[in-house]
Structure 1
Amino acid sequence: MKNYKMIIQYDGSRYLGWQRLPKSDRTIQGKLEDVISEMCKKEIKIVGSGRTDAGVHALGQVANFKADISMTENEIQEYINHYLPKDILVSEIQEVSDRFHSRYNALKKVYTYQLYTEEYQSPFYRKYSWHIKEPLDMFAIDKAIDILQGTHDFLGFSSVKKPTKSTTRTLYSISYVKEGPILSFTFTGDGFLHNMVRIIMGTLVEVGQQKMSIEDVGKVLQDKIRAEAGITCPPHGLFLSRVYY
């Protein structure tokens, strides 16, 4: 039995998220498993590095599956991409050690969130960015970023209701770059709680709009209460960019 690692890109606009659902064919995992199972002539389960929510995109999602097939890596990639919908792409595939596990072995993840900052949003960006036309106080956002970076209990910046595992994570960095109308934020961490990036992004926007103060951000970390943080920003501006092993 061989173990194959895949790097996957997808436009999540019309999907209900990564994780396969029993009564829907509109998931990324489901589409991949259906094609790979047909290729192998047996049911194949794939393991992803983590879930992405409905509407979230990926440039570098990682998954692995085990199968006993004689095709080359190129033949496997060609087969899968031929039968996948055109908004999902396996950009790389390689045979890896039997011990490789895309979720348990992940050391670091990178997410990107895009804001569209002009008065009127281009129709070509509407599915891939959150339209924020009001000017943002970037000095205040920088101060909030300083507070959020590092190792903290991020429960207040998540949708986790009743945690059964640790909610402490290390946020190595939050950076941003402006290119034309797009203000792109990059979040790098050892792991992320459910909706953590979207809630932090929503909080940073509210800080930039002076709806929240720097002290409010620190209070969320201290009190660990979700209602004290900013809004959960829309999913369509979020991309899983890369997973490190």
Structure 2
Amino acid sequence: MTRWALLLEYDGGPFVGWQVQETGPSVQGVLEQAASRLANGAPVPSIVAGRTDAGVHAEGQVAHIDLPDGFQARAVRDALNFHMKPHPVVVLQAATVPDDWSARFSANRRTYRYRILNRRARPALLAGRVWHVPVPLDAAAMHDGAQRLLGRHDFSSFRAAACQAKSPMRTLDRLDVSRDGDIVEIVTEARSFLHHQVRNFAGTLKLVGEGRWTADRVAAALAARNRAAAGPTAPPEGLTLTRVGYPDDPFRN
């Protein structure tokens, strides 16, 4: 068997999330059904770098699967893409990796982008890709508040109640907020994130942008280590997993 790293892009809107569930179609299910076609119908389990929630998108998700020997990278990519039609999931690149390589555990960086459409008119072309906030937002104030969250902290205030992580401690390397026209963009990077952590950042920083919270209150919410102290969870459609980093990037070539 050969282990393959897959660089994936998908629209999370039609799915219940990455993980297979009985309540509806999942990205994992679509990928594994397609991969089974390359393994003479045998089950092909997948491991993913980040299990995205329902409605969350990906431009640079990474998964790995094991397939019978003999395939070329282009054939793996094209065959999987053919069998995943018409679902909005595609393999951008496929690359062989060592047998002990893991899409999840070999990763050392994950980057997410959260986009807010900040105008009165609702989205038409960007529907399902942004959080529509009609109230004017101060992106500079949001960025100032975001900087209070950088570093290694107990992020219990920004952790979903259903989070299964053993520890709320995480090191946040980047949390930037900027504006480009009507789009307010939040970009964050860390080795790993807690469940709903990025969406809870976005919901909290929106309060700062509206002038309802100060940067000091963001710091106080972090220090409280209590989910009730932070802002609401932003909706999933504005969130995209843009990149997963590895010490030795399998897609570099």
Q: TM-score range, shorter-chain basis?
A: over 0.9
Specify the alignment match of 1:38 in structure 2. 37
Q: TM-score, normalised by structure 1?
A: 0.94
SS for the counterpart of 2:114 is strand
Shift of 1:26: 0.7
RMSD after superposition: 1.5
CA distance in 2, matches of 1:48, 1:26: 17
Shift of 1:220: 1.9
Specify the alignment match of 2:10 in structure 1. 10
Give the letter aligned to residue 25 of structure 2: R
SS for the counterpart of 2:148 is helix
Structure 2 unaligned residues grouped into runs of 5+: 247-253
Q: Does 1:62 align with 2:62?
A: yes
CA distance in 1, matches of 2:213, 2:178: 22
Shift of 1:223: 1.6
Equivalences for 1:71-220 in 2 at 5 Å? 71-84=71-84, 85-161=86-162, 165-220=166-221
SS for the counterpart of 1:40 is coil
Contact 1:7 1:63 in 2 (8 A): yes
Q: Percent identity?
A: 32
Pair 163,61 (structure 1): closer, same or farther in 2 beyond 3 Å: closer
Pair 164,69 (structure 1): closer, same or farther in 2 beyond 3 Å: closer
SS for the counterpart of 1:141 is helix
Runs of 4+ in 1 over 6 A off after TM superposition: none
Pair 231,7 (structure 1): closer, same or farther in 2 beyond 3 Å: same
SS for the counterpart of 2:13 is helix
Contact 2:145 2:208 in 1 (8 A): yes
Q: How many residues align?
A: 244
SS for the counterpart of 2:38 is helix
Shift of 1:24: 4.5
Shift of 1:163: 6.1
Instruction: Write out per-residue CA displacement over residues 143-192 of structure 1, whole angstroms, 9 at most, x where no aligned residue.
Output: 21121111111111010457661211111111233333222211111110
Shift of 1:213: 2.7
Contact 2:146 2:177 in 1 (8 A): no
Give the letter aligned to residue 67 of structure 1: L
Contact 1:25 1:31 in 2 (8 A): no
SS for the counterpart of 2:141 is helix
Query: More deviation in 148-157 or 27-36?
Result: 148-157
SS for the counterpart of 1:173 is strand
CA distance in 1, matches of 2:165, 2:174: 26
CA distance in 2, matches of 1:66, 1:138: 44
Pair 37,217 (structure 1): closer, same or farther in 2 beyond 3 Å: same
Contact 1:198 1:233 in 2 (8 A): yes
Give the letter aligned to residue 10 of structure 1: Y
CA distance in 2, matches of 1:182, 1:208: 13
SS for the counterpart of 1:4 is strand
Query: More deviation in 157-166 or 27-36?
Result: 157-166
Instruction: Write out per-residue CA displacement over residues 184-242 of structure 1, whole angstroms, 9 at most, x where no aligned residue.
Output: 21111111000000000100001111222323212222121111111100100000000
SS for the counterpart of 2:36 is helix
